[in-house]
Amino acid sequence: MAKKKDEEEELDISAEEITDISQLPGIGRTTADKLQAAGYSDIMSIAVATPVALADAAEMTKQTATKAIHAARVVAKIGFKSGDDFLRDREATERIMTGSETLNQLLGGGVETKGITEAFGEFGSGKSQLGFQLAVNVQLPKEQGGLGGQVIFIDTEGTFRPERIVQLSQSVGIDAVQALKNIRVARAYSSDHQMLLVDKIDELIRNEAVNVKLIIIDSLTSLFRAEFAGRGSLADRQQKINRHLHTLQRLADTHNLAIFVTNQVMANPAIFFGNPTQAIGGHIVGHAATYRLYLRKSKGTKRIARLIDSPHLPEGEAVFAVMTDGIRDEK
Protein backbone atom coordinates (compact mmCIF):
# COMPACT_ATOMS: atom_id res chain seq x y z
CA MET A 1 0.00 0.00 0.00
CA ALA A 2 2.84 2.39 0.90
CA LYS A 3 4.52 1.69 -2.45
CA LYS A 4 1.31 2.41 -4.35
CA LYS A 5 0.85 5.68 -2.44
CA ASP A 6 4.41 6.73 -3.23
CA GLU A 7 3.80 6.02 -6.94
CA GLU A 8 0.63 8.15 -6.89
CA GLU A 9 2.42 11.01 -5.12
CA GLU A 10 5.23 10.81 -7.66
CA LEU A 11 2.64 10.90 -10.45
CA ASP A 12 0.94 13.94 -8.88
CA ILE A 13 4.21 15.85 -8.78
CA SER A 14 5.07 15.11 -12.40
CA ALA A 15 1.49 15.69 -13.50
CA GLU A 16 1.62 19.32 -12.35
CA GLU A 17 4.00 20.04 -15.23
CA ILE A 18 1.95 18.27 -17.89
CA THR A 19 0.36 20.69 -20.37
CA ASP A 20 0.26 18.57 -23.54
CA ILE A 21 -0.84 15.00 -24.24
CA SER A 22 2.66 14.16 -25.54
CA GLN A 23 3.94 14.62 -21.96
CA LEU A 24 1.68 11.94 -20.52
CA PRO A 25 3.35 8.65 -19.48
CA GLY A 26 3.82 6.34 -22.46
CA ILE A 27 2.77 8.98 -25.01
CA GLY A 28 5.51 10.53 -27.12
CA ARG A 29 5.21 12.87 -30.05
CA THR A 30 4.45 10.12 -32.58
CA THR A 31 1.74 8.56 -30.41
CA ALA A 32 0.33 12.01 -29.65
CA ASP A 33 0.01 12.69 -33.38
CA LYS A 34 -1.94 9.45 -33.81
CA LEU A 35 -4.23 10.34 -30.91
CA GLN A 36 -4.87 13.83 -32.25
CA ALA A 37 -5.73 12.38 -35.64
CA ALA A 38 -8.27 10.17 -33.87
CA GLY A 39 -9.81 13.15 -32.05
CA TYR A 40 -7.95 12.96 -28.71
CA SER A 41 -6.48 16.43 -28.82
CA ASP A 42 -6.39 17.55 -25.18
CA ILE A 43 -5.87 16.27 -21.64
CA MET A 44 -9.60 16.04 -20.90
CA SER A 45 -10.31 13.89 -23.97
CA ILE A 46 -7.66 11.42 -22.73
CA ALA A 47 -8.98 11.54 -19.16
CA VAL A 48 -12.51 10.50 -20.17
CA ALA A 49 -11.41 7.85 -22.69
CA THR A 50 -11.45 4.11 -22.09
CA PRO A 51 -8.16 2.15 -22.16
CA VAL A 52 -9.41 -0.04 -25.03
CA ALA A 53 -10.45 2.94 -27.20
CA LEU A 54 -7.20 4.78 -26.51
CA ALA A 55 -5.08 1.69 -27.21
CA ASP A 56 -6.87 1.07 -30.52
CA ALA A 57 -6.54 4.71 -31.60
CA ALA A 58 -2.77 4.92 -31.03
CA GLU A 59 -1.72 1.27 -31.40
CA MET A 60 -0.42 1.10 -27.83
CA THR A 61 -0.83 -1.54 -25.15
CA LYS A 62 -3.82 -1.40 -22.84
CA GLN A 63 -1.47 -1.08 -19.84
CA THR A 64 0.22 2.01 -21.32
CA ALA A 65 -3.16 3.51 -22.18
CA THR A 66 -4.34 2.97 -18.59
CA LYS A 67 -1.30 4.83 -17.21
CA ALA A 68 -1.84 7.72 -19.59
CA ILE A 69 -5.53 7.95 -18.66
CA HIS A 70 -4.72 7.90 -14.94
CA ALA A 71 -2.19 10.72 -15.33
CA ALA A 72 -4.63 12.72 -17.47
CA ARG A 73 -7.32 12.40 -14.79
CA VAL A 74 -4.92 13.73 -12.18
CA VAL A 75 -4.06 16.72 -14.36
CA ALA A 76 -7.68 17.40 -15.34
CA LYS A 77 -8.76 17.28 -11.66
CA ILE A 78 -12.01 15.55 -12.50
CA GLY A 79 -14.58 15.88 -9.75
CA PHE A 80 -17.74 17.66 -8.68
CA LYS A 81 -18.50 21.38 -8.54
CA SER A 82 -20.84 23.17 -6.19
CA GLY A 83 -23.90 24.86 -7.64
CA ASP A 84 -22.50 28.36 -7.16
CA ASP A 85 -19.26 27.36 -8.96
CA PHE A 86 -21.34 26.07 -11.82
CA LEU A 87 -23.30 29.32 -11.85
CA ARG A 88 -20.05 31.28 -12.20
CA ASP A 89 -19.11 29.05 -15.14
CA ARG A 90 -22.49 29.78 -16.71
CA GLU A 91 -21.79 33.50 -16.46
CA ALA A 92 -19.04 33.00 -19.06
CA THR A 93 -21.72 31.90 -21.54
CA GLU A 94 -22.24 34.41 -24.37
CA ARG A 95 -24.99 34.95 -26.92
CA ILE A 96 -25.25 35.90 -30.59
CA MET A 97 -28.13 38.13 -31.61
CA THR A 98 -30.33 36.85 -34.43
CA GLY A 99 -31.47 40.18 -35.91
CA SER A 100 -35.00 39.75 -34.55
CA GLU A 101 -35.71 40.96 -31.01
CA THR A 102 -38.70 38.62 -30.62
CA LEU A 103 -36.57 35.65 -31.68
CA ASN A 104 -33.79 36.75 -29.31
CA GLN A 105 -36.29 36.84 -26.44
CA LEU A 106 -37.57 33.38 -27.32
CA LEU A 107 -34.00 32.06 -27.08
CA GLY A 108 -33.29 33.84 -23.81
CA GLY A 109 -31.19 36.57 -25.41
CA GLY A 110 -29.85 34.94 -28.57
CA VAL A 111 -28.03 31.80 -29.69
CA GLU A 112 -25.99 30.55 -26.75
CA THR A 113 -22.36 29.46 -26.61
CA LYS A 114 -21.50 26.13 -24.94
CA GLY A 115 -24.64 24.64 -26.44
CA ILE A 116 -26.17 23.19 -29.61
CA THR A 117 -29.08 25.07 -31.18
CA GLU A 118 -31.05 23.04 -33.71
CA ALA A 119 -33.44 24.64 -36.20
CA PHE A 120 -35.68 22.24 -38.12
CA GLY A 121 -38.52 22.78 -40.52
CA GLU A 122 -39.68 22.39 -44.10
CA PHE A 123 -37.76 23.83 -47.04
CA GLY A 124 -38.10 27.60 -47.23
CA SER A 125 -38.84 27.97 -43.52
CA GLY A 126 -35.75 30.12 -42.92
CA LYS A 127 -33.26 27.63 -41.46
CA SER A 128 -30.37 28.46 -43.77
CA GLN A 129 -31.21 32.17 -43.70
CA LEU A 130 -30.94 32.16 -39.91
CA GLY A 131 -27.58 30.42 -40.24
CA PHE A 132 -26.32 33.05 -42.70
CA GLN A 133 -27.47 35.84 -40.38
CA LEU A 134 -25.68 34.30 -37.40
CA ALA A 135 -22.52 33.85 -39.50
CA VAL A 136 -22.50 37.61 -40.07
CA ASN A 137 -23.75 38.76 -36.65
CA VAL A 138 -21.15 36.77 -34.71
CA GLN A 139 -18.48 38.95 -36.33
CA LEU A 140 -19.95 42.10 -34.77
CA PRO A 141 -18.45 43.43 -31.52
CA LYS A 142 -20.16 42.34 -28.31
CA GLU A 143 -21.83 45.70 -27.75
CA GLN A 144 -23.60 45.23 -31.11
CA GLY A 145 -24.84 41.72 -30.40
CA GLY A 146 -21.90 39.68 -31.74
CA LEU A 147 -18.83 38.02 -30.30
CA GLY A 148 -16.13 39.47 -32.54
CA GLY A 149 -15.34 35.96 -33.76
CA GLN A 150 -14.98 33.81 -36.84
CA VAL A 151 -17.16 31.05 -38.27
CA ILE A 152 -16.83 27.45 -39.43
CA PHE A 153 -19.54 26.60 -41.99
CA ILE A 154 -19.95 22.94 -42.97
CA ASP A 155 -22.19 22.72 -46.04
CA THR A 156 -23.76 19.33 -46.70
CA GLU A 157 -26.43 20.38 -49.21
CA GLY A 158 -24.71 23.00 -51.37
CA THR A 159 -26.65 25.83 -49.72
CA PHE A 160 -23.83 28.25 -48.83
CA ARG A 161 -24.07 31.43 -50.86
CA PRO A 162 -21.33 34.07 -50.50
CA GLU A 163 -23.61 36.55 -52.27
CA ARG A 164 -26.04 36.34 -49.35
CA ILE A 165 -23.21 36.93 -46.87
CA VAL A 166 -22.28 40.07 -48.83
CA GLN A 167 -25.89 41.30 -48.63
CA LEU A 168 -26.18 40.67 -44.90
CA SER A 169 -22.78 42.08 -44.01
CA GLN A 170 -23.56 45.32 -45.85
CA SER A 171 -26.85 45.64 -43.97
CA VAL A 172 -25.06 45.52 -40.58
CA GLY A 173 -22.14 47.71 -41.63
CA ILE A 174 -19.39 45.08 -41.96
CA ASP A 175 -16.90 45.05 -44.82
CA ALA A 176 -18.17 42.29 -47.13
CA VAL A 177 -14.72 41.03 -48.15
CA GLN A 178 -13.59 40.77 -44.53
CA ALA A 179 -16.86 39.09 -43.55
CA LEU A 180 -16.25 36.35 -46.14
CA LYS A 181 -12.64 35.93 -45.00
CA ASN A 182 -13.89 35.33 -41.46
CA ILE A 183 -16.00 32.37 -42.59
CA ARG A 184 -14.20 29.06 -43.21
CA VAL A 185 -16.42 26.97 -45.51
CA ALA A 186 -16.12 23.27 -46.32
CA ARG A 187 -18.44 21.13 -48.43
CA ALA A 188 -19.01 17.65 -46.96
CA TYR A 189 -19.80 14.82 -49.39
CA SER A 190 -20.34 11.92 -46.98
CA SER A 191 -21.17 11.43 -43.31
CA ASP A 192 -17.57 10.34 -42.62
CA HIS A 193 -16.30 13.45 -44.39
CA GLN A 194 -18.65 15.59 -42.30
CA MET A 195 -17.41 14.01 -39.06
CA LEU A 196 -13.77 14.36 -40.13
CA LEU A 197 -14.26 18.08 -40.79
CA VAL A 198 -15.62 18.53 -37.27
CA ASP A 199 -12.68 16.58 -35.84
CA LYS A 200 -10.32 19.02 -37.58
CA ILE A 201 -11.88 22.10 -35.96
CA ASP A 202 -10.13 21.67 -32.61
CA GLU A 203 -6.79 21.40 -34.40
CA LEU A 204 -7.61 24.53 -36.42
CA ILE A 205 -8.43 26.53 -33.29
CA ARG A 206 -5.37 25.39 -31.33
CA ASN A 207 -2.69 25.33 -34.02
CA GLU A 208 -3.74 28.29 -36.17
CA ALA A 209 -5.16 30.40 -33.32
CA VAL A 210 -8.41 30.98 -35.23
CA ASN A 211 -10.95 32.76 -33.01
CA VAL A 212 -13.90 30.51 -33.86
CA LYS A 213 -17.06 31.50 -31.99
CA LEU A 214 -19.67 29.76 -34.15
CA ILE A 215 -19.92 26.42 -35.97
CA ILE A 216 -22.75 26.00 -38.48
CA ILE A 217 -23.75 22.69 -40.07
CA ASP A 218 -26.36 22.98 -42.82
CA SER A 219 -27.75 20.42 -42.58
CA LEU A 220 -26.84 18.02 -39.80
CA THR A 221 -28.60 14.84 -40.95
CA SER A 222 -28.92 14.98 -44.74
CA LEU A 223 -25.84 12.87 -45.52
CA PHE A 224 -26.61 10.35 -42.77
CA ARG A 225 -30.16 10.09 -44.08
CA ALA A 226 -28.95 9.41 -47.62
CA GLU A 227 -26.35 6.79 -46.69
CA PHE A 228 -28.25 4.83 -44.05
CA ALA A 229 -31.51 3.87 -45.69
CA GLY A 230 -33.97 1.38 -44.20
CA ARG A 231 -34.62 0.14 -40.69
CA GLY A 232 -31.74 -2.33 -40.84
CA SER A 233 -29.16 0.46 -40.80
CA LEU A 234 -31.02 2.71 -38.34
CA ALA A 235 -28.96 1.68 -35.28
CA ASP A 236 -25.65 2.33 -37.06
CA ARG A 237 -26.87 5.71 -38.29
CA GLN A 238 -28.04 6.80 -34.86
CA GLN A 239 -24.78 5.70 -33.25
CA LYS A 240 -22.75 7.79 -35.71
CA ILE A 241 -24.99 10.82 -35.27
CA ASN A 242 -24.71 10.46 -31.51
CA ARG A 243 -20.90 10.40 -31.65
CA HIS A 244 -20.92 13.36 -34.04
CA LEU A 245 -23.11 15.44 -31.72
CA HIS A 246 -20.99 14.65 -28.68
CA THR A 247 -17.89 15.85 -30.56
CA LEU A 248 -19.70 19.09 -31.35
CA GLN A 249 -20.74 19.54 -27.72
CA ARG A 250 -17.17 18.97 -26.56
CA LEU A 251 -15.98 21.70 -28.95
CA ALA A 252 -18.66 24.06 -27.63
CA ASP A 253 -17.66 23.43 -24.01
CA THR A 254 -13.90 23.53 -24.59
CA HIS A 255 -13.79 26.73 -26.63
CA ASN A 256 -16.93 28.53 -25.40
CA LEU A 257 -18.42 28.69 -28.88
CA ALA A 258 -21.93 28.29 -30.28
CA ILE A 259 -23.14 25.39 -32.42
CA PHE A 260 -26.00 26.03 -34.85
CA VAL A 261 -27.31 23.11 -36.90
CA THR A 262 -30.20 22.90 -39.31
CA ASN A 263 -32.17 19.70 -39.67
CA GLN A 264 -34.46 18.17 -42.23
CA VAL A 265 -37.96 16.96 -41.45
CA MET A 266 -40.27 14.16 -42.48
CA ALA A 267 -44.03 13.68 -42.35
CA ASN A 268 -45.22 10.89 -40.07
CA PRO A 269 -48.22 9.25 -41.82
CA ALA A 270 -49.32 7.62 -38.56
CA ILE A 271 -50.35 11.01 -37.14
CA PHE A 272 -53.92 11.83 -38.17
CA PHE A 273 -54.48 14.85 -35.92
CA GLY A 274 -52.05 17.68 -35.30
CA ASN A 275 -48.79 18.44 -37.09
CA PRO A 276 -47.23 15.30 -38.68
CA THR A 277 -43.88 17.05 -39.24
CA GLN A 278 -41.01 15.49 -37.31
CA ALA A 279 -37.29 16.22 -37.25
CA ILE A 280 -34.88 13.63 -38.65
CA GLY A 281 -32.60 11.97 -36.11
CA GLY A 282 -35.18 10.92 -33.58
CA HIS A 283 -34.42 10.92 -29.86
CA ILE A 284 -30.64 11.04 -30.38
CA VAL A 285 -30.76 14.53 -31.88
CA GLY A 286 -33.57 15.57 -29.56
CA HIS A 287 -31.59 14.74 -26.43
CA ALA A 288 -28.29 16.16 -27.71
CA ALA A 289 -29.60 19.55 -28.86
CA THR A 290 -29.64 22.16 -26.09
CA TYR A 291 -32.27 24.27 -27.84
CA ARG A 292 -34.71 23.03 -30.50
CA LEU A 293 -36.45 25.50 -32.79
CA TYR A 294 -39.25 24.46 -35.11
CA LEU A 295 -39.53 26.93 -38.00
CA ARG A 296 -42.48 27.16 -40.32
CA LYS A 297 -43.51 29.37 -43.21
CA SER A 298 -46.34 31.87 -43.14
CA LYS A 299 -47.48 34.53 -45.59
CA GLY A 300 -44.82 36.33 -47.62
CA THR A 301 -41.67 37.01 -45.62
CA LYS A 302 -43.27 36.02 -42.32
CA ARG A 303 -41.88 33.02 -40.41
CA ILE A 304 -42.89 31.47 -37.09
CA ALA A 305 -40.37 29.94 -34.69
CA ARG A 306 -41.47 27.67 -31.88
CA LEU A 307 -39.08 26.75 -29.08
CA ILE A 308 -40.01 23.17 -28.32
CA ASP A 309 -37.14 22.19 -26.01
CA SER A 310 -34.75 24.01 -23.68
CA PRO A 311 -33.13 23.21 -20.31
CA HIS A 312 -34.56 26.32 -18.64
CA LEU A 313 -36.70 28.35 -21.05
CA PRO A 314 -40.46 27.88 -21.46
CA GLU A 315 -42.01 26.76 -24.72
CA GLY A 316 -43.17 29.65 -26.82
CA GLU A 317 -43.42 31.19 -30.27
CA ALA A 318 -41.86 34.16 -32.00
CA VAL A 319 -42.84 35.76 -35.29
CA PHE A 320 -40.03 37.12 -37.45
CA ALA A 321 -39.38 37.98 -41.08
CA VAL A 322 -36.77 36.94 -43.64
CA MET A 323 -36.06 40.16 -45.51
CA THR A 324 -33.56 41.18 -48.18
CA ASP A 325 -31.45 42.77 -45.44
CA GLY A 326 -31.69 39.72 -43.18
CA ILE A 327 -33.61 38.32 -40.22
CA ARG A 328 -35.81 41.07 -38.80
CA ASP A 329 -38.90 41.55 -36.62
CA GLU A 330 -42.20 41.23 -38.43
CA LYS A 331 -43.75 44.65 -39.02
Q: CATH 1.10.150.20 residue ranges in the chain? A: 2-76
- The per-residue pLDDT string of the chain (331 residues; one tens digit each, 9 = 90 and over) reads 444 444 444 454 454 568 788 888 888 888 988 888 777 878 888 888 889 989 988 888 999 999 999 888 888 877 788 898 888 888 889 999 999 999 999 999 999 999 999 999 999 999 999 999 999 999 999 999 999 999 999 999 999 999 999 999 999 999 999 999 999 999 999 999 999 999 899 889 988 889 999 999 999 999 999 999 878 888 899 999 999 999 999 899 989 999 999 998 876 655 555 565 788 888 889 999 999 999 999 999 999 999 999 999 999 999 999 999 999 998 7
How far, in Å, are 50, 150, 283 from residue 232 at the CA level? 28, 40, 17
Closest by alpha carbon to 278, among 300, 308, 254, 302? 308
Q: Which class would CATH give 2-76?
A: mainly alpha
Tell me the three-class secondary structure of the chain, residue by residue: CHHHHHHHHHHHHHHCCCCCHHHCCCCCHHHHHHHHHCCCCCHHHHHCCCHHHHHHHHCCCHHHHHHHHHHHHHHHCCCCCCHHHHHHHHCCCCEECCCCHHHHHHCCCCEECCEEEEEEECCCCCHHHHHHHHHHHCCCCHHHCCCCCEEEEEECCCCCCHHHHHHHHHHCCCCHHHHHHCEEEEECCCHHHHHHHHHHHHHHHHHCCCCEEEEEEECCCHHHHHHCCCHHHHHHHHHHHHHHHHHHHHHHHHHCCEEEEEECEEECCCCCCCCCEEECCHHHHHHHCCEEEEEEECCCCEEEEEEEECCCCCCEEEEEEEECCEEEECC
pTM of the model: 0.83
CATH code that applies to domain 89-329: 3.40.50.300
Q: Where in the chain is the domain with CATH 3.40.50.300?
A: 89-329
